[in-house]
Amino acid sequence: MNGLKQLLRPFAQGGRNVYQRYFGEVGYISRRFHYAKTASREQAEIALRQRAAARNSGRASPLARTIAAGLERDGYFQSDLSSLGLSSEVVDYCRKLADPVIGMSLEQVQAKRAGRGKTYWLDLYQDVAETRTPIAELIAARDVIDVCSLYFGQAPFVHECSLYFTPPGAAFLPHEMQGSQNWHLDNDRPRRVKLFMLPYGADEEAGATMFLPKPDSDLGKYRSFPGYFDDKQFAQFGLDPAKIVRFTGAPGAVLFFDTSRLFHCGSRTRSKSRVVLNIDLSPVTSYLPYVQLAHGPLRRPRFAALNGDLLN
Ligand X SMILES: O=C(O)CCC(=O)C(=O)O
> Minimum Å distance from CB 153 to ligand X?
23
**Residues near ligand X, by CB under 6 A:** 180, 186, 194, 209, 259, 264-266, 278
Q: Please, what sign has the CA dihedral across residues 175, 179, 180, 186?
A: positive
> Minimum Å distance from CB 264 to ligand X?
5
Between residues 23 and 228, which has the closer beta carbon with respect to ligand X?
A: 228
Residue 164's beta-bridge partner residues?
123, 276
- Give the residue at shortest CB distance from ligand X: 266
Residue 206 contacts by C-beta under 8 Å, 6 or more apart in sequence?
248, 269, 270, 272, 273, 274
> Minimum Å distance from CB 271 to ligand X?
17
Task: Determine contact, residues 147/256, Cβ cutoff 8 Å.
Answer: yes
> Minimum Å distance from CB 164 to ligand X?
7
Question: In terms of C-beta density within 10 A (0-12 exposed, 13-18 middle, 19 or more buried), how is residue 205 classed?
Answer: middle
Between residues 60 and 245, which has the closer beta carbon with respect to ligand X?
A: 245
Between residues 189 and 194, which has the closer beta carbon with respect to ligand X?
A: 194
Residue 194 per-residue DSSP state: E
Between residues 14 and 241, which has the closer beta carbon with respect to ligand X?
A: 241
**Distance set, CA 57 to CA 50, 63, 65, 68, 139 (Å):** 10, 12, 9, 11, 16
Between residues 180 and 292, which has the closer beta carbon with respect to ligand X?
A: 180
> Minimum Å distance from CB 61 to ligand X?
27
